[in-house]
Amino acid sequence: MIVEATATGAGTFYHGLYGGAVSQRRAHGKNRGAVGEQLLDPFGNEDAVHTFRSWIDFGGKLEVDLGFGRGGFLVEQASRTRESRWVGFEVRTRLCMEVMDRLNRQGISNVRIIQADARPIVDQFFPVGSISHFYVGFPDPWWKKKHHKRRIFSPEFVHTLHSKLTATGSVILRTDVTDYAQNVREVFNAHGGFDTQVVTPDELVPTDRERRCADFGLPVSRLRFTKKGCL
């Protein structure tokens, strides 16, 4: 489902990629499961896909936040960079609706929210060479071996990210799991098309999880994977 910030307040209709308009009340109410059902067919509403493709094809910077959670980074960063367009992915309905409400309340219109697993959608709906940055804040590490396939940074997805980035584009990872940071680094190194740099905290608006790590004094790894030849 693509959710469009319209700043029109209550009663706003969210236009789903997968099945048309979904009212805010329905999304919050006991029929919420029906919203999930509408995610099943990514080609169920070609008009919505067409509108989305036109919206991202605007000639300026396109930024993507993969798994925005409570949306602290997405909302603040999009508000600071109104000339860019932002696409946020999140699988959880409640978080999508909460962030949607905040965007509307604050009149931030340069964001589209896609409630879906980001991996196939990034692959299918974004043109090659179109995205300036992918931001991934505190991805789930999925420790158990049988769950490794759920990790967002699979070799296949890293290949997809490389192809979707602009020539000077990069992927920015933040995580409080040191071993996972190392694992992601190895996946990017194995791809061979990226250079890795450490990012300092003051370069980025913090995510919600990052603020909590700071409150508890937990260390955070911040890595930027830049397309080779762009340094």
Ligand X SMILES: C[S@@+](CC[C@H](N)C(=O)[O-])C[C@H]1O[C@@H](n2cnc3c(N)ncnc32)[C@H](O)[C@@H]1O
Contact (CB, 8 A) for 159 and 192: no
Q: Given 140, 179, 202, 215, which residue is catalytic?
A: 140
- For residues 141, 144, 150, 155, the Cα torsion angle rounded to the nearest 10 degrees is 80
**Is residue 141 part of the contact set for ligand X (CB under 6 A)?**
no
222 Cβ contact partners less than 8 Å away, ≥ 6 residues apart: 172, 173, 174, 198, 199, 200, 201, 203, 204
- The answer to whether residue 140 is catalytic is yes
**Is residue 148 part of the contact set for ligand X (CB under 6 A)?**
no
Instruction: Give the one residue of 18, 63, 64, 69 binding ligand X; rule: CB under 6 A.
Output: 69
- Minimum distance from CB of 204 to ligand X (Å)? 11
- Minimum distance from CB of 215 to ligand X (Å)? 13
Sign of CA dihedral 52, 57, 59, 65: positive
d(CA 7, CA 135): 25
Instruction: Give the one residue of 25, 53, 82, 92 binding ligand X; rule: CB under 6 A.
Output: 92
**Is residue 138 part of the contact set for ligand X (CB under 6 A)?**
yes
**Is residue 28 part of the contact set for ligand X (CB under 6 A)?**
no
Please work out the total of residues on this chain that contact ligand X, with binding judged by CB under 6 A. Answer: 21
Stretch binding ligand X (CB under 6 A), from 10-18, 42-50, 62-70, 78-86:
62-70
According to DSSP, residue 116 is labeled S
d(CA 201, CA 188): 21
d(CA 14, CA 215): 35
Using CB under 6 A as the criterion, which residues of the chain lie in contact with ligand X when the complex forms? 66-69, 89-92, 95, 117-119, 137-140, 152, 207-210
Catalytic residues: 140
